[in-house]
């Protein structure tokens, strides 16, 4: 490859939301068995869901963790259902 040519970076897949919902609606959707992603969480493999009776977060490392809800989570209005 010559000096004038350069390789372009690998494209990053992003989530293009049609609309967002607030925390309360996200919790309602999770209670119905859906998964919620907060746009602030850049990686699409990061989402909240109900794991049995435990509110959990799936993280990009492939592990599930108990979701300890923060004030920022509760005030969030940038959730989407995935």
The pLDDT value recorded for residue 9 is 55
CB atoms within 10 A of CB 78: 15
d(CA 45, CA 38): 11
Domain regions of the chain by residue span? 23-81
The pLDDT value recorded for residue 26 is 98
* Per-position DSSP letters for 10-46, written without gaps between them: PPPP----S--B-HHHHHHHHHTT--EEETTS-STT-
- Asked whether the whole model's pTM tops 0.85, one would answer no
Could you say which residues of the chain have pLDDT below 50?
1-2, 12
């Amino acid at each position: 490859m010559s000096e004038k040519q350069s390789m372009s970076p690998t494209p990053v897949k992003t989530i293009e939301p049609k609309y967002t919902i607030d925390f309360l609606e996200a919790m309602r959707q999770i209670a119905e068995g859906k998964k919620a992603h907060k746009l602030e969480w850049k990686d699409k493999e990061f989402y909240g869901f109900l794991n049995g009776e435990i509110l959990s977060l799936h993280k990009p490392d492939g592990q599930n963790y108990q979701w300890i809800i923060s004030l920022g989570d509760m005030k969030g209005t940038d959730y989407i259902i995935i």
